[in-house]
Structure 1
Amino acid sequence: MAPDYRVIYAEFHSGEVWGELAVTELSYSLEANSAGPASVKVPLTLFDWSALRPWRVLVYIQRGQQIVWGGPLVAFSLDLENEEAELHCLGLWEYYRRRQITYDAIFVQRDQGAIVQTLLQDFADGTGQYTWNSGPRALTFDSSAVTGILRDRTYRAYERKMVGKAVEDMAGVRDGFDFRIDHAWFGGRIVNTVRFSPPSGTPTDLTLEHGANCDIPSATVDGTNMVTEAVVTGGGEAESQLAAWWYNLPAERDPSRRIPRLSAVQSRQDVIRGDTLTAYAQQVIAEGSTPISIPAVRLYPGTDPGPGDVVPGVQVRARARVGGRLVLDGAYKVTTIGVRLADGGEETTLTLVPGEVFGNVGSAASP
């Protein structure tokens, strides 16, 4: 086990740090707008059965001075032959995907970050206006919660919408946002801070250069999800059902790149506003506007950048030459970071998405 890693566990409900785990192997994944998993192996003889129960504890992975991952223990498995236990954890966001909106919540021209904060505090974390609403009181927010984008949103109690799903849906519309939960020591406690960033990614000057600071062993170009016509349906039935269309007409008509029409239909039954449906349709067109060039990136162990230097949602440049010829050169957003540590060796892989999918593409023009 590399010396710069520690695995800490704390009581979920109070945040009180209980101790450190003797770990022989670990892996974790950081994902934008999602709860990436983690797995840690501990000697069975050192397994604390009384404390390490699913949803009772939070597990944190610390690399050097940074806490790079945190989330609840949700399951564990026992290997009696090798006398080890493997703990299966999910990122802290998973808890907020398990809470529902239990009272009507209506927002008119509120910043989308403020809507997210209110939903989380009122219906999930237990720090909002419904003080009786049981929650771990685990989250803090910083100034990034002011995104500058105003939204109208109505959530009715009878819809039984989950808090996490409501946030993820709002993040996924045009001019939405990325979010993640960062973890850091503050005094003797670990603070979990919700941070927002633009969906196009946070700019950095980081360049991932094949053969210099990383390996890019392969890349794929995938047009499976390309779209030039997007239809998103909302509430209602038959002829009264709401719907919004968005088109990428230049992709169909520009002689230098034209392709036949490719359609996609998405259902959003809980949406009753036309502008919200249009925002979803715009995003479908943006994501399907170009073939997706996806390079596989593996960082060099023990050098910069390392897994503590990159977070999901940042913009990077990826570049690769073969035989002196530039075969890959583009702007990408990091969406997933995967780290595996075993036998003292660290392996870090990055998943990148081209920056083009976050551009403003197409129009509502009739076909």
Structure 2
Amino acid sequence: MEFDLSWIFLGLPLAFGLGWFASRFDLRQMREENRRAPKAYFKGLNYLLNEQQDQAIDAFIEAVQNDPDTTELHFALGNLFRRRGEYNRAVRVHEHLLSRGDLSRADRERAQHALALDFLKAGLLDRAEDALRRLEGSAFEGQARMALLAIYERSRDWPQASDIARRMHDAQQGDFSTRLAHYLCEQALALAAHGELPAAQALLEQALATAPQAPRARIELARLQQRQGQPEAAFDTLQALAQAAPAALPLAAPLLVETATATGQAPLAQALLQHHYEDMPSLDLLEAVVALEAANADTAAVGREWYVRHLEREPSLVAATKWLAGETLTHEQFHPQIQRALEQAAKPLTRYRCAACGFEARQHFWQCPGCQTWDSYPARRVEEL
């Protein structure tokens, strides 16, 4: 049977027409998808600007489905998930980005940093630590180290925190000498709690050498020396504190009175406290002066005159309450009730307040329990601020 060539000539135009039609259909479909993706993107951006996060997430998911290779949409979607508290979904988005082989180095580092933030927000500190350590040498190195520092402080891993702070200090990413001194003091307190006093003293001396102007190391060292039966050394340490960091002397005023009494240096301590009180009136300095003067006077009333002097300089409910406690009233039978009421009213005024977040506490903290900020508590009571 002979093959009819006429079918070939008839089929070629038909095949060409079908191919052209198919290409036009694919091109039209591609254009339609490309139009849909930017539209969904801008719709999501509009929702985001209007703080409509749920609608923004739906729009970005639609945009990602239409164009799965768009990294910026993935980043936007992951960040939205994190802000909404959907940490598992945020982790999946950023892990998907990291699994792509065509991701640039800059975007890979950005995705790694975003993943670390997901873990941090979720409270998965171990996984966050691992993710942050992978950012060493990247553009996010400084931010990663600060986050690691926060993790180690939160877990009270002071040796690790010291290592990170020292590296940041050496890399000139800030002055971390005071914070390093705090870490050494924390380790020293832990050793002292277990009775390892010589090792604790060595760390405190190292902290003092690290940050000579920081008051904490001297105060903790004086307490340790007093605990070891060395009141003379403790008194000398507190005298040095008055020279190096006079603003912090109120925190050590009771200890100064104790060591001065034990060493027979009460007159010297009283002169020192009065001098600093005249420069900067303080309730704690006032109490120390009253205690020393009352101990050396014939009557307690002599020392209590300092409360009146303080009231002449500035109004103080705390000082007035303390002065009234030793006075005899016309209706003495009502004195206990009045005294209790005044003490109750004055109690909030004797607290310390964080300058960063306003958290108030009865005792002074070197690191705020509320916002975790170091040295945010002034050495002054609420009434004095």
TM-score range, shorter chain: under 0.3
Q: Which has the higher contact order (CA 8 A, sep 6+)?
A: 1
Q: By percentage of residues, which structure has more strand? A: 1
TM-score, scaled to structure 2: 0.25
